[in-house]
């Protein structure tokens, strides 16, 4: 039989080890809980971004219809399409969709796809975007489609 003082010391040691183990498990569980919450949010964002990507063609079609509707569409149809366009864009923007129209800004290959070049009208306009052929989009700060643009460039032009 062990002496009382040794038994107390042994039990205190076991208690200390169990307390440390409990604290480690509690910290691991807290990290697990935070990680799964973060992953759930990221999964939701990815699903929303996938939906936004699918809707980009619809937005492009609306842009084309609205740009060409003055040719012969009735004023009522044109106004209805404009209201639908505004409502759809408002909801998508509220969800995190951001339109990229870089005309006049410096060309950024991380956000823009240069599909054409033109000579700059002034030297300070070199390497700036002169026209946007197709809007780019970001969803919650992640690029989902680069803007297709024309860039002023003095390279190759005499």
Residue 120 covered by a domain: yes
Residue 125 covered by a domain: yes
Q: What's the pLDDT tens digit per position in 112-128?
A: 999 999 999 998 999 99
Residue 118 covered by a domain: yes
Residue 71 covered by a domain: no
Q: What's the pLDDT tens digit per position in 29-83?
A: 999 999 999 999 999 888 888 888 888 888 888 888 877 765 556 777 888 888 8
Residue 151 covered by a domain: yes
Residue 101 covered by a domain: yes
Q: What's the pLDDT tens digit per position in 7-36?
A: 899 999 999 999 999 999 999 999 999 999
Give the predicted TM-score (pTM) of the model: 0.65
Which CATH number goes with the domain that contains 135?
2.30.22.10
Q: What's the pLDDT tens digit per position in 91-101?
A: 899 989 999 99
Number of domains, the chain: 1
Residue 148 covered by a domain: yes
Residue-range definition of the domain harbouring residue 129: 96-158
Residue 50 covered by a domain: no
HEC readout, the chain: CCCHHHHHHHHHHHHHHHHHHHHHHHHHHHHHHHHHHHHHHHHHHHHHHHHHHHHHHHHHHHHHHHHHHHHCCCHHHHHHHHHHHHHHHHHHHHHCEEEECCCCCECCCCCEEEEEEECCCCHHHCCEEEEEEECEEEECCEEEECEEEEEECCCCCC
């Amino acid at each position: 039989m062990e002496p009382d003082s040794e038994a107390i010391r042994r039990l205190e040691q076991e208690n200390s080890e169990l307390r440390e183990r409990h604290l480690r498990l509690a910290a691991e569980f807290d990290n697990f809980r935070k990680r799964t919450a973060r992953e759930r949010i990221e999964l939701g964002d990815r699903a929303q971004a996938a939906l936004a990507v699918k809707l980009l063609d619809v937005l492009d079609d609306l842009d084309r219809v609205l740009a060409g509707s003055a040719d012969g569409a009735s004023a009522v149809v044109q106004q209805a399409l404009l209201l639908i366009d505004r409502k759809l864009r408002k909801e998508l923007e509220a969800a995190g969709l951001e339109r990229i129209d870089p005309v006049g800004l410096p060309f950024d290959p991380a956000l823009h796809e240069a599909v054409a070049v033109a000579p700059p009208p002034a030297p300070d306009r070199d390497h700036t975007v002169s026209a946007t052929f197709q809007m780019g989009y970001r969803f919650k700060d992640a690029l989902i489609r680069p803007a297709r643009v024309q860039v002023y460039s003095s390279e190759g032009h005499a």
